Amino acid sequence: LLDKLLPKLKERGSRVLIFSQMTRLLDILEDYLMYRGYQYCRIDGNTGGEDRDASIEAFNEPGSEKFVFLLSTRAGGLGINLATADIVILYDSDWNPQADLQAQDRAHRIGQKKEVQVFRFCTEYTIEEKVIERAYKKLALDALVIQQGRLSEQKTVNKDELLQMVRFGAEMVFSSGDSTITDEDIDRIIAKGEEATAELDAKMKKFTEDALKFKMDDTADLYDFDDEKDDNKVDFKKLVSDNWIEPPKRERKRNYSESEYFKQTMRQSGPTRPKEPRIPRMPQLHDFQFFNTQRLNELYEKEVRHLMQTHQKNQIKDSIDVDEPDEMTDPPLTAEEQEEKERLLEEGFSAWTRRD
């Protein structure tokens, strides 16, 4: 189709902008243009700033022999003024309709003297139809939600104007026919395009009405549900449990640190030292509480000396491993001394403070 379209456009004196999303396709189109002998320029994501400006100036200069400008949709669709071109060909559509609109605006710039025509290529019964349909839905939602209330009417695109991108221009370009076969092919293409456009127009009209009514897509049926009493119903829980494969246990991650390795290698496991005994805490005694502090301190020191001596003897016994007679120079508190200690602690007034 492009091979039939470009000669007609060149005879009319038009200049063409071809947009594509993939640079590999631009490479193929570049080989095709070199094969046909068309002068062209190219801008994609790998084009440098100086080469980019030079290509734009070479295409826009008066009397330029450049007929085609190859651009990638994302890299060449922003910030470029190519008003000397009047034909925009979208070789493949983008999922984001705003990217295609930005690409079309490269020709709708200040200084444009001709009517701009936009051709969008679409192969029937392919994913391109779904991409274009999804893009139209996004534009319809944009017009319903975002564009409402804006003052600029040029930014608001009508649904009928968007649908013209599919069918507009083909009949005008191929109006002068050289052969009967070409006319029949183009008429067949136009007829199919009109039918597809009518179906898409009706679908978009229904989608717009549903969107205004906040109605969801009608792909789900209210009465389409699983019957719990159905004997032939598949038990998905049982199916998953029967075919479930238990994942392996998670292994501990090994540490390959050199310092950790030598630390574990050089570690010498010796006998663990026994913990020191917990020394009983002496309660805080004040003069105004009328405790017998002198006697309580004597009993407390005697108890501490006994605990420390016991701990030292245990350490010596573990290191020498010799049984020695137990000679306790500091005996523990006797039962009478323990009762005396408790009685002295009860005689004082522990609840009193300095203010009392």
For 167-220, write each residue's pLDDT tens digit: 444 444 445 444 443 545 655 665 676 677 677 667 767 766 655 554 544 444
123 vs 77 pLDDT, higher one? 123
234-to-15, 221, 222, 226 alpha-carbon distances in Å: 62, 20, 21, 10
User: Among the residues of the chain, which ranges form H helices?
Assistant: 2-12, 23-36, 49-60, 97-104, 127-141, 159-167, 170-173, 180-212, 236-242, 258-265, 293-320, 335-347
69 vs 126 pLDDT, higher one? 69
pLDDT bin (cut points 50, 70, 90) of residue 149 is very low
2 CB contacts (<8 Å, ≥6 apart)?
A: 32, 89, 91, 121
Q: What is the mean pLDDT of residues 135-163?
A: 58
For 223-276, write each residue's pLDDT tens digit: 444 555 566 666 767 777 777 777 777 777 766 677 777 777 766 555 556 566
Q: Which residues pair with 280 in a beta bridge?
A: none
Instruction: Give, for 68, the enclosing helix (H) or strand (E).
Output: strand 68-72
For 280-302, write each residue's pLDDT tens digit: 777 777 777 777 888 888 888 88
pLDDT bin (cut points 50, 70, 90) of residue 31 is very high
* CB-side neighbour CA atoms (13 Å) of 337: 13
User: Angle of helix 180-212 relative to helix 159-167, nearest 10 degrees?
Assistant: 160
Distance between CA atoms of residues 141 and 207, nearest Å: 9
Domains of the chain: 1-121 (3.40.50.300), 125-217 (no CATH), 273-347 (1.10.1040)
pLDDT value for 180: 43
Does the pTM exceed 0.75?
A: no
Distance between CA atoms of residues 181 and 170, nearest Å: 16
pLDDT value for 28: 93
278-to-65, 274, 281, 307 alpha-carbon distances in Å: 100, 12, 9, 8
Q: Which residues pair with 119 in a beta bridge?
A: 89
For residues 72 and 43, the answer to whether their CB atoms sit within 8 Å is: yes
**The residue to which tokens 């609109």 are assigned:** 101
120 vs 33 pLDDT, higher one? 33
Please give the share of the chain, as a percent, with pLDDT higher than 70.
63
Q: What is the mean pLDDT of residues 74-98?
A: 78
pLDDT of 48 above 80: yes
Distance between CA atoms of residues 141 and 214, nearest Å: 11
